[in-house]
């Protein structure tokens, strides 16, 4: 172990979070990984300790349990020096709002919004006392347009975007730099991969491997960039979406999503 600083990554057992763990480990960062109970976070940790000689601590619990989350955060705050926080854990879903259960909606709000704010606010004193520190929040290209039949997810990602940029401005005189990344589609798990493949050529637009998204996100976050949009297609798409009137883009995207539910 080369230093006593840690990078905390939420949702680190699979998908984008696991890739963040791999690339941060390769940069020699010690890690605190948070994942659900029964995840393979411990085996990810063992591999990284062996391969990179870093220290990795694993905390497995459900982050939507706010009391549990706060108790773990207080333990972390008292026992570790965290200088990099990556708020990655997030879930979504596609369904008509009338077909969604209140539990499913609440879980998205709890994980994507409430837990992200709780973690950030609780760890701020720790991050602010470091010589240099970083927060990287994971939003989505979906944050840029409201989408019917998804409603809650893009709204939660727009919250993350707004929260991150506001926080960045509030802390601009401090050693803590806040960035937000807007990934496009990624084949991170079976459900998402099936959806992307089902969309055919359209689904492949803006598609990037997680390794590339994480490479760009880490590089630009550590360079202090505020907004990070990995991939040329996604940058062009973002520009285009900025020109197209809201009503039109809302209709086009929502129509495509509605078709997806119809073939489910």
Ligand X SMILES: NC(=O)c1ccc[n+]([C@@H]2O[C@H](COP(=O)([O-])OP(=O)(O)OC[C@H]3O[C@@H](n4cnc5c(N)ncnc54)[C@H](OP(=O)(O)O)[C@@H]3O)[C@@H](O)[C@H]2O)c1
CB of 33 closer than 8 Å to CB of 54: no
Dist. CA 55–CA 32, nearest whole Å: 9
State the minimum distance, in angstroms, from the CB of residue 184 to ligand X. 6
State the minimum distance, in angstroms, from the CB of residue 228 to ligand X. 12
Three-class SS of 141-192: HHHHCCCCCCCHHHHHHHHHHHHHHHHHHHCCCCCEEEEEECCCCCCCCHHH
Binding residues for ligand X, per CB under 6 A?
A: 11-17, 34-36, 39, 62-64, 88-92, 111, 138, 140, 183, 185-186, 188-189, 192
CB of 12 closer than 8 Å to CB of 88: yes
State the minimum distance, in angstroms, from the CB of residue 113 to ligand X. 11
Pairing between strand 5-10 and 81-87?
Answer: parallel
Dist. CA 163–CA 109, nearest whole Å: 14
User: Is the Cβ of residue 10 or residue 133 nearer to ligand X in the bound state?
Assistant: 10
User: Is the Cβ of residue 130 or residue 212 nearer to ligand X in the bound state?
Assistant: 212
Which of 6, 52, 149, 153 is labelled catalytic? 153
Tell me whether residue 6 is one of the annotated catalytic residues.
no
User: Is the Cβ of residue 54 or residue 136 nearer to ligand X in the bound state?
Assistant: 136
CB of 91 closer than 8 Å to CB of 108: yes
State the minimum distance, in angstroms, from the CB of residue 71 to ligand X. 14
User: Is the Cβ of residue 175 or residue 203 nearer to ligand X in the bound state?
Assistant: 203
Smallest Cα–Cα separation from 187: which of 175, 199, 176, 174?
A: 199
Residues with catalytic function: 153
């Amino acid at each position: 172990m080369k230093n006593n600083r840690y990078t905390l990554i939420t949702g680190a057992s699979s998908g984008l979070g696991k890739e963040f763990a791999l690339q941060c480990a390769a940069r020699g960062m010690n890690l605190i990984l948070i994942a659900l109970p029964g995840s393979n976070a411990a085996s990810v940790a063992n591999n990284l300790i062996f391969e990179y000689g870093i220290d990795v601590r694993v905390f497995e619990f459900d982050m939507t349990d706010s009391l549990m989350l706060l108790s773990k955060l207080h333990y972390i705050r008292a026992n570790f020096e965290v200088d990099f926080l990556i708020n990655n854990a997030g879930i979504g879903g596609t369904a008509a709002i009338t077909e969604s259960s209140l539990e499913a909606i609440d879980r998205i709000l709890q994980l994507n919004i409430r837990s992200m704010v709780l973690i950030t606010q609780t760890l701020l004193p720790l991050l602010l006392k470091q010589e240099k520190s970083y927060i990287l929040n994971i939003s989505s290209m979906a944050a840029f347009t409201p989408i019917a039949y998804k409603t809650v997810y893009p709204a939660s990602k727009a919250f993350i975007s707004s929260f991150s940029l506001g926080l960045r401005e509030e802390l601009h005189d401090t050693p803590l730099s806040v960035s937000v990344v807007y990934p496009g589609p990624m084949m991170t798990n079976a459900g998402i991969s099936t959806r992307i493949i089902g969309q055919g050529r359209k689904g492949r637009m803006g598609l990037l491997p997680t390794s590339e998204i994480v490479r760009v996100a880490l590089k630009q976050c550590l360079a202090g960039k505020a907004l990070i949009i990995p991939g040329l297609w996604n940058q062009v798409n973002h520009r285009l979406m900025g020109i197209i009137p809201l009503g039109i883009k809302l209709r086009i995207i929502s129509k495509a999503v509605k078709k997806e539910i119809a073939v489910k």
